[in-house]
């Protein structure tokens, strides 16, 4: 196929097969749809529609004569690509996918070192320990140096002796998907220590921006001269978690001896031919691709799955084809998905030392308490009111235990000498008579251990034989304290035998904060727990008790209850998105800094996609799909601010195709916003004045209200979110819902247009005279692209981009403060060179460093090139022509009367 060199591949038998020659464009063009229509909509699964010529029947999965028989069917992977501008290295993150050059003397750097890597990868990929470049083999104690990304941290590792390691880290800032990162090690900083400094740039050419502060550590160091190869993606399975090659694209890498020193390795994949397996870099090293590594110039436009293979044919049978509609991962994740269990129910079974566990989250009519663990029998219960208490954030409703309640469960045999019992409970107050909360049966000296709540304290007794008073020992006497009652608590009781003695620990953790621990050591054995039971009796006559999530473990400690007990309340939206996808084994690309997202309320049972969308709604980012692989992609809201345009169009130039239909309407107008915290209070933001206010026309547009419930950690979050949504909903400007780019007529725009993903910014300069004169500024929410032989065009779904240009104190453009008000003091014509202004409030700056700056005068944009300063009640400004009636190309001087000091904001 000619330009744009479209390639369609399906995965058959585990291999990618090129089926481009069978792509049937006579009846059906190739169409790819991604993203959403606007900011208010959810992202739909990406779709790719195309036809395959099936006259020989090879795309009929059940045809035994097909070469793909038994190899294609439901959810067969498919990908669509075009030729890109730059070859690059592709790594899939597997241990075998690396690029190596043998050890050589120049690579054996023992002093200062400078490592650089220009890559496209997931910079915040959870627990992945991804190596960019390194000379490192931990399994053979041949460690030298490595630059890597681990759990949102950029890390530089080195070893002075090949065995032990030095390490410095810095949080990864918000980076574009493709960026160059750099780490330098000064082994002797002249002050008795060593210094590691990190940087990033858009490419290897720089300029470099320092990331955080330099990491200064005590003691000088050196770097070991190992004998292993220098590897791009250097793996190390000996670490925990294992260091794996990064997953993504590699463009250029450098190793320098000394900071900004001599380049000793410089593999550049942008100059290689696709398919290259061996090459020599600029300083003479021979590099070899290993395993799954490959050099490619393909740009993946769609990666998805084919869920069905329908056959179609013409009346006479001349045409036989399969009209495919492949979908992204969102489709499969949304098919018949059930609600995820509570956070406690999901997390507790992940402890490898768990012997028995009963969540006790049954519905009201249950007669047994089920255990999710194989080999653990249901708990026998009576008189228990199931599903009666839904106040624990990390759990589905739990039972209430009354005066006639009993339950008991048998525990599979674990090792002797160490055990741990834990559960959650909520006791409304102290009973008036001693009341047993729980009893354990063990094979130790104390065959029974009882927890007894009393009017002002709690006691733990050990009963050794028959159970009469002479065989009962008070193990712990705890209290008085208020921790035991009127809130959800976790009660831990742990035992460990050492020699002839056993230490018992009793720990209370008040869920949400607080708690304490007491312990004692006695000359007894712990044995192992064989059963748990409860029969509180009449002591609960005047108080209520709720409980659940009872577990027995064969280890002293466990952290599976931690955070899960309160449903991960105050977890950021980015962290929740990462955790959920990791728990469910769903690949995720996180664009932007996940820790820059707001805290959320408790995670309640819901489907995975609804929980992920809940996080996106709380943050205000974009949940969608990765374009180059079968994975989700979440773009945090902060990453949408103040972006440089990914695609810059010119209305007067090639590429922009009709229709460009402006809409000056009320779609998206919201001027009365109520945000409610789920389970909490609400806040309201109303625009009462202005053209889009709630005032009746013509002063405003009337009421356009909206009420949204969000998962928030605190009630205080509701108000700023309400005002942010009000800001988005009251932008008084024309909308451009779609922008059509015909790349066939402007192939020079193909690289930039192909780089645009959801959330990117595009601009259109030089609009026609019948539109407002400023550059059209848009944010892309989705797009539809179509391919035919010799044809490629993209229609972007857009929303206004100007609301996302945010004030920043460190920004040369958006760090300026506007005056309270400036007006023309006298009318001007197109040939005037002086503007007289009246300023209400603070004066404009007279510092020439602030010029040039753009100002808006009556809808016209002018560029201020000189500020001559204020004289008494007047000031002069020199501007060069703008748009509209003043677009004369002449120099303008602004002169005005001032009422106070002032400054100005560039428009």
pTM for the whole structure:
0.85
Q: Report the helix count and the strand count for the chain, using DSSP H and E.
A: 6, 55
Other C-beta atoms closer than 10 Å to the C-beta of 103 total: 16
pLDDT of residue 810: 66
Distance CA 579, CA 247 (A): 19
695 secondary structure, DSSP code: S
Is cis: bond before 241, omega within 30 of 0? yes
Q: Give the pLDDT confidence score for residue 482 in this predicted structure.
A: 62
Task: List the chain domain ranges.
Answer: 7-85+301-327, 94-291, 404-565, 573-640, 822-898
Q: Are 725 and 669 in contact (CB under 8 A)?
A: no
**Residue ranges of E strands in 593-732:** 622-625, 632-635, 647-650, 656-657, 672-677, 682-686, 705-710
Residue 893: Cβ-neighbour burial (10 angstroms; 0-12, 13-18, 19+): middle
Residue 728: CB partners within 8 Å, gap ≥ 6?
A: 39, 668, 670, 803
Angle at 150 between CA 147 and CA 151, to 5 degrees: 155
Report which secondary-structure segment, H or E, holds 549: strand 545-553
**φ, ψ of residue 391 in degrees (nearest 5):** -90, -5
**17's tokens:** 């097969």
The whole-number pLDDT of residue 570 equals 94
- Nearest residue to 362 via CA among 350, 370, 354: 370
CB-based contact 384:544 (threshold 8 Å) = no
Please give the distance of CA 45 from its chain centroid, rounded to a whole number: 18
End-to-end Cα separation, the chain, in angstroms? 46
* pLDDT computed for residue 749 by the predictor: 92
Please report, for residues 511, 565, 606, 710, 730, the alpha-carbon distance to residue 603 in angstroms, rounded to integers and kept in the order given.
15, 10, 8, 12, 32
C-alpha neighbours within 13 Å on the C-beta side of residue 23: 26
Low-confidence residues in the chain, pLDDT < 70:
1-3, 25-27, 124-128, 466-470, 480-483, 810-813, 820, 833, 841-842, 858-859, 866-907
Coil, helix or strand at residue 788: strand
| pLDDT at residue number 891 | 42
Name which CATH class applies to 404-565.
mainly beta
pLDDT computed for residue 470 by the predictor: 61
CA 478 remoteness from chain centre:
44
Distance CA 60, CA 72 (A): 9
Could you write out the three-class secondary structure of 99-113? EEECCCHHHCCCCCE
Dihedral sign from CA coordinates of 740, 746, 747, 748: negative
Quote the pLDDT of residue 443. Answer: 94
d(CA 893, CA 890): 10
Q: Is the dihedral of CA 289, 291, 297, 299 positive or negative?
A: negative
The CA-atom distances, in angstroms, between 57 and each of 10, 21, 60, 66, 318 are 16, 15, 5, 6, 13
- Residue 673's pLDDT is what? 97
* CATH T-level topology, domain 94-291: Jelly Rolls (2.60.120)
Query: With b meaning 16 or more CB within 10 Å and e meaning fewer, what string describes 589-628?
Result: bbbbbbebbbbbbbbbbeebbebbbbbbbbbbbbbbbbbb
Give me the count of residues in the chain.
Answer: 907
Question: Is there a contact between 341 and 357 (Cβ–Cβ < 8 Å)?
Answer: no
pLDDT in tens, 489-534: 999 999 999 988 999 999 888 997 777 888 999 999 999 999 999 9
What was the pLDDT predicted at 564?
95
94-291 matches 404-565 in fold: yes
């Amino acid at each position: 196929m000619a330009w744009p060199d479209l390639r369609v591949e399906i995965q058959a038998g585990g291999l990618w097969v090129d089926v481009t020659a069978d792509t049937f464009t006579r009846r059906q063009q190739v169409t790819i749809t991604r993203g959403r229509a606007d900011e208010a909509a959810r992202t739909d699964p990406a779709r790719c529609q195309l036809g395959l010529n099936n006259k020989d029947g090879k795309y009929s999965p059940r045809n035994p004569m097909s070469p793909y028989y038994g190899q294609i069917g439901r959810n067969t992977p498919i990908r669509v690509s075009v030729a890109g501008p730059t070859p690059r290295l592709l790594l899939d993150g597997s241990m075998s996918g690396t690029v190596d050059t043998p050890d050589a003397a120049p690579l054996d750097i023992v002093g200062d070192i400078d490592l650089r890597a220009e890559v496209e990868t997931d910079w915040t990929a959870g627990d992945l320990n991804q190596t960019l470049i390194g000379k490192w083999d931990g399994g053979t104690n041949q460690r030298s140096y490595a630059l890597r990304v681990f759990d949102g941290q950029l890390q530089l590792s080195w070893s002075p002796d090949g065995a032990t390691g030095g390490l410095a880290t810095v949080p990864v800032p918000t980076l574009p998907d493709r960026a160059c990162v750099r780490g330098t090690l000064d082994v002797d900083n002249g002050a008795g220590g060593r210094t590691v400094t990190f940087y990033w740039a858009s490419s290897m050419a720089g300029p470099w921006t320092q990331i955080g502060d330099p990491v200064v550590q005590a003691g000088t160091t050196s770097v070991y001269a190992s004998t292993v190869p220098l590897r791009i993606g250097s793996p190390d399975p000996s670490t925990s978690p294992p260091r794996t090659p990064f997953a993504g694209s590699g463009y250029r890498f450098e190793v320098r001896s000394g900071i900004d020193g001599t380049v000793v390795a410089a593999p550049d994949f942008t100059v290689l031919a696709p398919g290259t397996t061996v090459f020599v870099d600029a300083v003479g090293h021979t590099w070899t691709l290993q395993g799954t590594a490959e050099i490619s110039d393909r740009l993946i436009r769609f990666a998805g799955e084919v869920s069905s293979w329908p056959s179609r044919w013409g009346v006479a049978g001349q045409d036989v084809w399969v009209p495919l509609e492949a979908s992204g991962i969102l489709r499969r994740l949304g098919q018949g998905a059930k609600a995820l269990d509570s956070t406690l129910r999901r997390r507790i079974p992940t402890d490898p030392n768990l012997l028995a566990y009963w969540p006790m989250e049954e519905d009201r009519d249950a007669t047994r308490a089920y255990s999710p663990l194989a080999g653990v029998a249901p708990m026998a219960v009576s008189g228990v009111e199931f599903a009666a208490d839904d106040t624990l954030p990390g759990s589905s409703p739990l039972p209430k235990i009354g005066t006639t309640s009993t339950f008991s469960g048998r525990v599979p045999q674990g090792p002797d000498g160490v055990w741990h019992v834990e559960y959650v409970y909520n006791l409304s107050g102290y009973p008036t008579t001693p009341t047993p909360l729980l009893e354990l049966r063990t094979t130790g000296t104390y065959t029974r251990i009882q927890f007894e709540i009393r009017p002002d304290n709690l006691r733990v007794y050990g009963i050794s034989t028959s159970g009469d008073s002479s065989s009962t020992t008070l193990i712990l006497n705890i209290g008085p304290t208020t921790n035991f009652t009127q809130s959800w608590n976790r009660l831990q009781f742990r035992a460990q035998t050492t020699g002839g003695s056993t230490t018992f620990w009793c720990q209370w953790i008040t869920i949400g904060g607080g708690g304490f621990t007491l312990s004692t050591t006695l000359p007894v054995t712990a044995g192992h727990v064989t059963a748990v039971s409860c029969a509180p009796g009449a002591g609960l006559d005047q108080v209520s008790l709720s409980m659940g999530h009872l577990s027995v473990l064969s280890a002293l400690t466990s952290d599976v209850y931690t955070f899960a007990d309160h449903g991960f309340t105050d977890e950021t939206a980015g962290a929740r998105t990462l955790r959920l996808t990791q728990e469910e084994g769903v690949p995720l690309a996180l664009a932007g800094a996940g820790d820059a997202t707001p805290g959320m309320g408790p995670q309640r049972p819901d489907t995975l996609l609804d929980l992920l969308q809940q996080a996106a709604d709380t943050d205000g980012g974009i949940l969608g799909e990765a374009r180059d692989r079968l994975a989700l992609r979440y773009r945090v809201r902060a990453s949408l601010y103040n972006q440089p345009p990914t695609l810059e169009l010119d209305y007067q130039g090639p590429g922009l195709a009709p229709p460009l239909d402006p809409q000056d309407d009320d779609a998206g107008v919201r001027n009365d916003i109520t945000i409610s915290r789920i389970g909490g209070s609400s806040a309201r933001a109303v625009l009462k004045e202005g053209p889009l206010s709630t005032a009746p026309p013509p002063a405003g547009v009337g009421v356009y209200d909206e009420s949204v419930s969000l998962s928030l950690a605190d009630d205080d979050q509701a108000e700023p979110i309400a005002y942010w949504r009000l800001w988005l909903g009251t932008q008084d400007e024309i909308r451009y819902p779609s922008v059509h780019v015909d790349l066939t007529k402007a192939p020079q725009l193909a690289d930039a247009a192909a780089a645009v993903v959801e959330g990117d910014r595009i601009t259109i300069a030089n609009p026609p005279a019948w539109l407002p004169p400023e550059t059209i500024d848009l944010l892309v929410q989705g797009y539809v692209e179509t391919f035919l032989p010799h044809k490629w065009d993209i229609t972007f779904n857009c929303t206004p981009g100007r609301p996302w240009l945010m004030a920043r104190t460190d920004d040369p453009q958006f760090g300026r403060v506007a005056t309270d008000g400036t007006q023309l003091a006298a009318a001007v014509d197109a040939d005037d060179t002086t503007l007289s202004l009246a300023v209400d409030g603070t004066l404009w700056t007279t510092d020439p460093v602030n010029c040039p700056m753009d100002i808006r005068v009556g809808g016209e944009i002018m560029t201020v090139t000189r500020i001559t300063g204020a004289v008494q009640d007047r000031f002069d400004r020199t501007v060069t022509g703008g748009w509209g009636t003043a677009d004369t190309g002449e120099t303008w001087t602004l002169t005005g009367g001032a009422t106070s000091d002032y400054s100005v904001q560039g428009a």
